[in-house]
Amino acid sequence: MGYKVVVVGATGNVGREMLNILDERQFPVDEIAVLASRKSMGTEVSFGDKTLKTKDLATFDFTGWDMALFAVGSEATKEYAPKSAAAGCVVIDNSSLYRYDPEIPLIVPEVNPDAITMYSNKNIIANPNCSTAQMVVALKPLHDRAKIKRVVVSTYQSVSGSGKDAIDELWDQTKGMYVPGQEKPARVYPKQIAFNVIPQIDVFLDSGDTKEEWKMVVETKKIIDPSIKVTATCVRVPVFVGHSESINIETEEFLDEDEARDILREAPGILVVDKREPGGYVTPVECVGDYATFISRIRQDVTVENGLNLWCVSDNLRKGAALNAVQIAELLGRRVLKKG
Ligand SMILES: NC(=O)c1ccc[n+]([C@@H]2O[C@H](COP(=O)([O-])OP(=O)(O)OC[C@H]3O[C@@H](n4cnc5c(N)ncnc54)[C@H](OP(=O)(O)O)[C@@H]3O)[C@@H](O)[C@H]2O)c1
């Protein structure tokens, strides 16, 4: 016996990827419903070799369903996730709405699987921000060995992290550069994204940080350890899929770069590609469609007592969203619901 699963936001980037991953990982699905907004009613989406017709989220009854994987914005989540949770259908949510609620677990299964026990507080589990998810996978095994004190991270985030309209904007603006009369102004982003980089992701806070930067700080503390200090600079780059991060780590105990490489090689969810030669590292185009968080450029930072630098790349639609959500569903199944 398997699960009755609802995918909410099934026409979006993350929703489609969740359907692919449920199928790829042979998640035990007995029945599946795919939901989006009313305007997408009847739109077809693929689930393995099946084609499913999208239903309207606004009129869907969650009673009798086991779990709902939500990938709609915070507003629609706020309206519909509580309905699912109240009907006994456990919500696994990709939006940022519930991540900072102390009663709701924020889970990366390789890092803090035991937090799953908190799911029953509200029948809701939160999935972290894409840039946090890949970073904590890399940080956790190093923290366990040498206790991380401080992290300085700069991100290079792809446009797919802002939804399907942003992908179109990069594509259309890039084409528009070469076709006179077809220039496309910035709409999704505050400045031109084609052939440019934008040091702003999400809104500005009073501190001068952006909300994306704040999310990386708060989520890392919630998932790994409240004592870790994080400072982040988040940058949007003209890449379609795959987030990259330059991570500088200071630890309490000395950690040699070779030992760090060995620890990361053994850690769950990580693939180390670290040859000190041209091309001996991973770039975003190579990680598309992969499950792993790739680590390259592992080296000592000799400007501080116990410092390390590394380069971390992952498919933001997978580990940063859809894969992590499906891994949470697997964890929920294995530890709690125990069907399948
Ligand atoms: N992309 C990433 O890397 C990433 C990573 C982590 C978290 N997330 C989060 O995941 C969520 C989805 O992101 P995405 O990139 O997949 O966005 P997207 O490609 O723009 O897709 C949005 C989806 O939400 C649906 N939707 C929007 N408003 C709705 C409403 N009122 N009622 C029903 N359905 C509604 C859309 O349906 P229609 O097609 O009918 O409009 C579509 O299926 C967001 O909360 C985002 O912050 C994304």
What's the average model confidence in pLDDT over 139-155? Answer: 98
Q: How far is the CA of 271 from the centre of ligand 1 (A)?
A: 29
The model's pLDDT over 162-210, given as tens digits with 9 standing for 90+, comes to 999 999 999 999 999 999 888 899 999 999 999 999 999 999 999 999 9
pLDDT of 180 reads: 87
Catalytic residues, by residue number, are 130, 243
Q: How far is the CA of 95 from the centre of ligand 1 (A)?
A: 8
Q: How far is the CA of 131 from the centre of ligand 1 (A)?
A: 17
Give 339's pLDDT tier (boundaries 50, 70, 90): confident
User: Is 137's pLDDT higher than 80?
Assistant: yes
pTM: 0.96
C-beta neighbour count of 51 within 10 angstroms? 9
pLDDT of 145 reads: 98
- The overall average pLDDT reported for the chain is 97
Ligand 1: which atom is nearest the Cα of residue 54?
40
Ligand 1: which atom is nearest the Cα of residue 15?
16
Helix axes 130-146, 257-266, angle to 10 degrees: 120
What's the average model confidence in pLDDT over 243-259? Answer: 98
Sign of the C-alpha dihedral computed for residues 92, 98, 100 and 102 taken in this order: negative
pLDDT of 1 reads: 85
pLDDT of 270 reads: 98
C-beta neighbour count of 280 within 10 angstroms? 11
Ligand 1: which atom is nearest the Cα of residue 95?
45
Strands, DSSP E only, in 37-161?
44-47, 50-53, 55-56, 67-70, 90-93, 124-126, 148-157
pLDDT of 76 reads: 97
Residues with CB under 6 A from ligand 1: 9-15, 36-37, 39-40, 57, 71-73, 76, 94-95, 130, 160-161, 163-164, 316-317, 320-321
% of the chain with per-residue pLDDT over 70: 100
Report d(CA 135, CA 9) in Å as an integer: 25
